[in-house]
Amino acid sequence: MTDPFVVIGGDAAGLSAASKYRRESPARDVVVFEQGSWVSYAHCGTPYFIKGDVEHLRDLQSLSPRDIEERGIDLRRDHEVTAIDTKSDVITVVNNGESFEYPYEELLIATGARAISAPIEGADLDTVFTLHGLPDATALRSFLTPPAEFDSANLGGGAALTTSVAEQYGAMQPPETIAIVGGGYVGVEMAEAFSAWDCAVHLFQRPERLLPAFGTAVGDAIASTLKKAGVTLHLNEEVERLTETDGQLDDIVYGGGNRLNVDAVLIGIGIRPNVELLTETSIELGTTGAVAVDEYGQTNVENVYAAGDVAELKQIVTGETTWSPLGLPANRAGRAIGATVGGSPTQVGHVAETAMLKAFEVGCGRTGVLDHDRAEAAGFDPITKTITAGSRSGYYPGAEETTVTLTADQKSGQLLGGSLVGADRAAVRINTIATALGAGMTVGELEQQDLGYAPPFSPVWDPVLVAAKVLNGKL
């Protein structure tokens, strides 16, 4: 009898792998160790729970613990893996203060990532938050709710809810002024969420534009949207520290000594892969700081795999190693590894780094390589064009301007990347560009695609086709 397939981490990659493996190898055991109480939940949905669009924490779960166990997966929550011995093929696990060893035949590391707050002084104060998980979302939603209206049972967390945290923040007076540090995904989405609770929102961004990975047109459009919604932007401003009085948050200090009195701070300056478990092992990290893996998700150690936010992937345009901590790549890589371990070798695939988000009434998306320095480093000669076109036929109600940016290689015409922004379903159009990247299309080939036309949905020339036509004319 062989030892089981062991998975460390009970979220997207880990449970996708466990589920697929169980279907491929029903006669063998699969065990999932998760250090927390929550499993299989949508990180990307937490801003909408905090805002109130999503009512309950349980609504963010894809699979409940019962669902997982019914699939024949041995799920062990509140079990922290503290060590991996790749020579003996065992892990060390701690549960309720007791430690034990557990053997594996194959091992998947799916430990995810964590939000970072360093090096901001004062980040450990009570009303300073990060957002990367349901406990963070619980604390923020509780804090925003007036005490007279607060009931931890209304959060819908059941037994997995950290009641003490919810009660602590639910007893506080809600914040009136909130500072957000960081103008990326978390910062932009949370500006909308906090505004919905009638907070005065200040967003601090060290670069001169929001969402730098989305390009200039998107960053400028989102900045304009936030300003119109009443969010105060502090662009090209570095936060120096947070001050306190008697242990309570007082001021945010920025830009050479400027001060702003705030009731709460959300730090959204990025995340890092959870690789600390591997420091005493021979498992290698890649250039991005995440775990290096081959095309099947295997590490440099035989029968040890990594997937999700802890692992590297290959970029589809450049072929370079990248780190893309997003939901779909995590699920897809986990599923592929589950199939491979189950006896059906399956590659984890490439990523175009496609992403989209919403800021009030405006949506945006990006995919591929937009940055010219990055494109040049990969051997391309990039050229970029930006156009604005109507989202629907001009005579049809609801049409809005959609701004599309495309980048291509001047020598070959190969499409390298794109971005979109607009108020009428602009974000979903990014999938057309992502599909073109996956097919290795040139700009000319994208221009010739037979996209659908109907006045309520698109003009005859979809904005993506207009952008391709304009860029192709410059090659």
* String of DSSP letters for 186-236: HHHHHHHHHHHTT-EEEEEESSSSSSGGG-HHHHHHHHHHHHHTTPEEEET
Q: Is 44 a catalytic residue?
A: yes
pLDDT at 1 over 70: no
Cα separation, 324 vs 62, whole angstroms: 21
Domain shared by 146 and 265, yes or no: yes
The 3-state DSSP class for residue 442 equals strand
What does the pLDDT average to over 54-77? 95
Q: How many helices (H) and strands (E) does the chain have?
A: 12, 26
Q: Which of 269, 303, 318 is the last residue of a domain?
A: 269
- For residue 255, what are the domain limits? 128-269
Cα separation, 122 vs 107, whole angstroms: 38
> Taking a C-beta distance cutoff of 8 angstroms, is the pair 419, 218 a contact?
yes
Domain shared by 222 and 285, yes or no: no
pLDDT in tens, 346-387: 999 999 999 999 999 999 999 999 999 999 999 999 999 999
In-domain check, residue 339: yes
* Average pLDDT of the chain to the nearest whole number: 96
In-domain check, residue 88: yes
Domain shared by 146 and 32, yes or no: no
DSSP state of 278: G
Q: Which of 327, 351, 375 is the last residue of a domain?
A: 351
pLDDT at 16 over 80: yes
Domain shared by 158 and 241, yes or no: yes
Which one of the listed residues 42, 44, 253, 451 is annotated catalytic?
44
- 43: its two tokens: 């990180």
pLDDT in tens, 292-322: 999 999 999 999 999 999 999 999 999 999 9
CB atoms within 10 A of CB 148: 5
Domain shared by 169 and 262, yes or no: yes
What pLDDT, on the 0 to 100 scale, is given for residue 419? 98
What pLDDT, on the 0 to 100 scale, is given for residue 162? 86
In-domain check, residue 20: yes
Q: What's the domain count of the chain?
A: 3
In-domain check, residue 57: no
Domain shared by 214 and 339, yes or no: no
* Residue 234: alpha-carbon gap to chain centroid: 24
Domain shared by 300 and 246, yes or no: no
pLDDT in tens, 392-412: 999 999 999 999 999 999 999
pLDDT in tens, 124-179: 999 999 999 999 999 999 999 999 999 999 999 988 888 999 999 999 999 999 99
Helix boundaries (H) for 240-370: 327-341
In-domain check, residue 101: yes
The 3-state DSSP class for residue 350 equals strand
Domain shared by 390 and 467, yes or no: yes
| CATH number of the domain encompassing residue 14 | 3.50.50.60
In-domain check, residue 48: no
pLDDT at 119 over 90: no
In-domain check, residue 454: yes
Q: Which of 234, 269, 304 is the last residue of a domain?
A: 269
